[in-house]
A and B are shown apart, each in its own frame.
Chain A
Amino acid sequence: MNWLAPLFLAGFAAIALPIWLHRLQTETPTRQVFSSAMLLLQAERRVQVKKRLRYWLLLALRIMLLGLLALAFAKPLWTQPPVALNAATAKMHVVLLDTSMSMQESHRWQAALNQAEKIISEVGAADRLQLIAVADDLQVMGGPVSATAEGKQKIRSLLQRLHASSAQVQYGAMMNGLEPLLAEETQSTVVHVISDFQQTGLPVQFGDLVPRSVNGRVIEVALHAIAKGTVPNFAVSLVERVGTNIHVTVQGYHTAATTLTVALSVNGNSRGVLSMPIPASGMAVFEFANVLLNTGSNKIEAKLQSADTLSADDVFYTVLENTVGQPIAFLSANPSAVAGTYLDAAFTAAGSRYALQPAKIEQFDVRMLDRYRFVIIDDLGVVSDRLASALDAYIQHGGAVLATLGECSQLLKTLPLVTWPVGNVASDQQGERMSVGHVDMSHAALSRAAGLRSVNVVRYVPVTPNQESQILVQLDNGAPLLLEQRRGQGRIIVLTSGLDNTWNDLPIQPVFVSLLTEMARYLSGESSLKRQQRVGSSLPLDQAAAAGQVIDPLGKNLLSLSDSQRARSVKLTLQGVYEVVTTAGSSLVAVNTVPDESNLLPMSEEEFANWQRGVSVPQTEAEVGSTAGQPSGYELWHVLLLLLGLAVLAESLLGNTYVSRRVEVPA
């Protein structure tokens, strides 16, 4: 039984009114001495009892009348699942155990196990049990099984195998995830949520905490909090390189001022230990100066040595690259032209790890192509057939080319490599400024290219792309400005204008640097990899799958042979450094805990009470309306109104009888 408007239950206080009035009435009779009650006792007592009974009946009717009125306004909702759907009154008990990182704190996990054990013990033999672990997602560990001794033992053994993870729990997502899991369930369901109920796990909208009804059945949720009050906790929140130094940031949550010690290691080798004070509930940055890094990727581990009750977030991993610059070939008829200058300046300004290596196109040795991560060609029209053939093979095997069009290109009928027909350059194109009309921002290379719309173009080479090509940027006259064509395992991107600031002003626009950086990352095959990830996130395998392997921090291969070709992503479940092997080589990805899990403050009692109250009224009025005709979620107010009417009638008749009997007495 639930109440849609429980505040109206306060109307029960009105019951005091008839009680008070009846009390006054019983005190009303005139007191008078009489010679003897001997002749009154035998008969009058019976009359008196009868009269008292009448008074009590009248009082009871009036109390019932007011009580029914209050109940009707409170809108009671009969939420017990109908017996008709299940011949037995057995229930399905789902034990939802929070396995997020905060549960590793001190005694919380053991308390959670004890609570789960208590619930399992109390479940009746006719019921059924299911165990679900929840962190970043819901994972059915076992069940549903009949809650017999054998079934309970099975759930207990599964329970003992569980352990707290390093992931984060979001209560809103948790409640949403219940619906598909319970969709096939036909019995009434009770979900026991066992958690420390961190405040950081609350959703933005409180309504997300209330599970929706599944198949017209209301999901009953019981919240079991195993943590009270906040617990101080330190966490390493960031490791970053600043010049030759490495800065380690430590954050305190509800902590007192103290002195902390942080140890830094690079590729497993200690690089120093630092101690410094940290203010109460504050932040401290530990600066390790002149840290020597190996060439290539370096595994950095910063560990807080002043251990607290939650150790999982006392360590932070990151990957720092230390390379001299990956070579990019810049092939041009005139390598010293201004286009090369703009490109080199842009890569330098972006702090990119790419090194632009200009080369005269007719003197370029095609055997050197494999050394470069990708190739930039200034005016595709100058590419010879031999070079075009070599570039084609290079692209087919995973290479990438960024090409511009220029004076030579517009003289051709068909562009090399891409084989797009070249259109006639209109005479009125000379000197007329055109702007960018459409940019495909969903493309990985253009995610930061919104500034392209401010670029002015005065000349371009009109081309007619084939079906295999994709237009990424269009001018306002509809002519393609940037196109991509995939060939084999590689790709080529063509700018139908130049980069020398004569056909357009792109090289001098701010967007040029970010565009070039993203383009280089995309073409080199690094665009799908983020070096810093959180536990519970997914690692996209757009390019990794081609090479076929992801190795977790424990050294275990996550993909089977078939998965290496099909899997689109890998779930990062462990804290540490993953190794992703791609065609371009291996990359390291550091995975750390979610900062929200480090804040061990539980939600306030009011928030907890609101949630508990919310899940006790799981159906909104609209949902009740949508399930009208179904036995569950049945509103009782109209039944109460009917009873109210009967009570009013009975009270009127009885009260009138009493009044008329008094009036008949002769004066």
Chain B
Amino acid sequence: MAAVPQSPSDKLLQPEVLASLSTMELIARAAVNGFLMGLHRSPFFGFSQEFAEYRQYTEGDDPRFIDWNVYSRTNRTYIKRFLGETNSHLMVLLDASASMAFASKGRLSKFRYGQILAASLAYLAAHQHDAVGALIFSDEVREFRAPSGRSGQLHAVLHLIDQAKPERSTDLATPFSKFRDHVRRRGMVAVISDFYCDPQTMMDAVRPLAFQGQDVILFHVLDPQELDPTFDESTLLEDMETGQCVEVSPQDMQELYPQRVQAHIQSMREAAAKSGADYVLLNTAESLDVPLRNYFLFRQKRR
């Protein structure tokens, strides 16, 4: 189980707390702000606010970033650029298959957790002036919004994420193929899924993205009941995607199933490494600090 957070920022990053907020934008802002508050006390300070250079204002730039002091001295308009700002973009791929709807008692579902994470990543990316886009998939691409840095893009992306519903089965090959066709510019790709698929299948889907020059990070979202199931009697488990029923005994779920899950995670981790992708295992019982911190490190590494 995750440790009980003590600071207000840690408390704010708890998924249950975030989920109680009304809108996805508010959730994302709370998550990112909470994360950044914690980050200032961390060794990773200096993020995004350090000055890097001036760039001449061009049409389309946000006028709020015009350095009026320079304009008064030179009578020219310049934009002030900071260290975290690059010409990058972030594409969030959120798995909306039926299996993501699973939630153990008192927990957020994996999908809700993934929604919050996706929204937070989008908000954080926008906060860093990266173009952001989103793709909702299951066995095909259900919703897609190309990355953009335009005003209103973040709102549109958050709306897209908020409106998605978990249904149907998982198939990484088709959505990822379509994604490669539509996004050819290099950037960052965050995939949020429970990855109930063959590691080789995942590797086959992700590896072309790496060859395309994308930096891929895989967020493997699992529920505590999936990682360490607790059953006190024989149970008939029904697959949320296929409807297949399998009767399990408590002893076997207690002893054998966790071993198979860990083996699967390890296989996914190795497959991700072979594909040049970062891999982050997420427990829906833990706070969003972990994925955001990993994303931060991931982005730092890319710089």
Contacts and interface: CB of A to CB of B under 8 A. Distances in A.
Interface in A12-57: 28-45, 47-48, 51
A661 interface: yes
B236 A29 contact: yes
A36 to B, nearest CB: 4
A48 B254 contact: no
Contact of A32 (B235, B241, B242): B235
Given A29-B235, A40-B257, A35 B251 contact: no
B15 to A, nearest CB: 17
B223 interface: yes
Contact of B251 (A39, A41, A664): A664
Contacts of A43: 252, 256-257, 260
Given A39-B264, A51-B249, A665-B251, A34 B256 contact: no
A585 interface: no
Given A48-B246, A48-B247, A39 B257 contact: yes
A31 B250 CA distance: 13
Contacts of B196: 35-36, 38-39
Interface stretch (B173-181, B184-192, B226-234, B294-302): B226-234
A36 B225 CA distance: 12
B254 A666 contact: yes
Given A39-B260, A47-B249, A34 B238 contact: yes
Nearest to A34: B237
A659 interface: no
A34 B196 CA distance: 12
B240 interface: yes
A667 interface: yes
B17 interface: no
Contacts of A45: 246
Contact of A36 (B231, B241, B248, B249): B241
Given A35-B226, A45-B246, A666-B232, A40 B237 contact: yes
Contacts of A42: 260
A86 to B, nearest CB: 56
A103 to B, nearest CB: 69
B239 interface: yes
For chain B, what secondary structure do more than half of its interface residues adopt (helix, strand, loop), or is it mixed? mixed
B261 interface: yes
A450 to B, nearest CB: 91
Q: How large is the interface on B (under 10, 10 to 19, 20 to 34, 35 or more residues)?
A: 35 or more
Q: How large is the interface on A (under 10, 10 to 19, 20 to 34, 35 or more residues)?
A: 20 to 34
Most chain A Cβ neighbours within 10 Å, of B99, B226, B252, B257 = B252
Contacts of B231: 665
B236 A30 contact: yes
Contacts of A48: 246-248
B232 A29 contact: no
Contacts of B254: 665-666
Interface in B77-115: 99-100, 102, 110
A665 B236 contact: no
Contacts of A38: 196-197, 239
Interface of A: 28-45, 47-48, 51, 661-662, 664-667
Given A33-B102, A35-B194, 5 more contacts: A35-B240, A38-B197, A39-B264, A47-B256, A665-B254
What 4 A-B pairs are tightest by C-beta distance, nearest first?
Answer: A35-B102, A665-B250, A34-B237, A37-B239
Interface of B: 99-100, 102, 110, 194, 196-197, 223, 226, 231-242, 244-252, 254, 256-257, 260-261, 264
21 contacts: A28-B234, A31-B238, A32-B236, A33-B102, A33-B238, A34-B239, A35-B99, A35-B102, A36-B196, A37-B238, A39-B260, A40-B248, A41-B244, A42-B260, A43-B260, A44-B257, A47-B248, A48-B247, A51-B247, A51-B249, A667-B232
